[in-house]
Amino acid sequence: MKPNKFLLTSAVHAFDLSTKDAQTQLQVRKSKMEAFLLAIPNGWVAAQKAAQCRHDDVMRWKRLDPDFAARLADVDAETAMTLEGIVDGIAKGSIDATPTQMQALQFRLKALRPDIYRERSSVQVDQRTTISMDGDSSRARMLLAEWNA
């Protein structure tokens, strides 16, 4: 694997490290990424514990490393397919689920596939305006007559 030159040089300058130290940090980061991706089917928190990392680390990796982002997207797609299979089993009656479990499935699927499981609503506004004139309205009546003509 060829190291990312930009990440190495930025680490060297930011932390005043030697190139060897930066290379070691890069290898540690890559091993943590790999551990996270291997453990993610067990859940996000379990994957963080397995990789000994924080949520911020994972989000940074996702933002800065296109390979990691693509692999994480693949894992999310597989997870969504697994959850859809569970929902299908519930719908067919082969799997029992509580309302709480159903709600958790719903939230998770909305998070994994927001384009498919988004809330859809439409708003229709019917507005009518009534104008009421009191008092000396001769000028107003004249203007209304001109506008209606």
Share of the chain above pLDDT 90, in %: 48
Number of other CB atoms surrounding residue 148 within 10 Å? 6
Q: Is the pLDDT score of 102 beyond 70?
A: yes
Domain coordinates in residue numbering, the chain: 66-117
The continuous run of DSSP H or E covering 85 comes out as: helix 66-92
What six digits make up the tokens of 134? Answer: 């009191």
Is-contact 19 39, C-beta < 8 A? no
Q: What is the mean pLDDT of residues 16-31?
A: 79
Spatial separation of the C-alpha atoms in residues 97 and 88, rounded to whole Å: 12
Q: In angstroms, how far is the first alpha carbon of the chain from the final one?
A: 81
For 42-90, the pLDDT digits (tens) are 888 999 999 999 999 999 999 999 999 999 999 999 999 999 999 999 9
Given a contact cutoff of 8 angstroms between Cβ atoms, the answer to whether 51 and 33 are in contact is yes
What is the predicted pLDDT for the residue at 47? 93
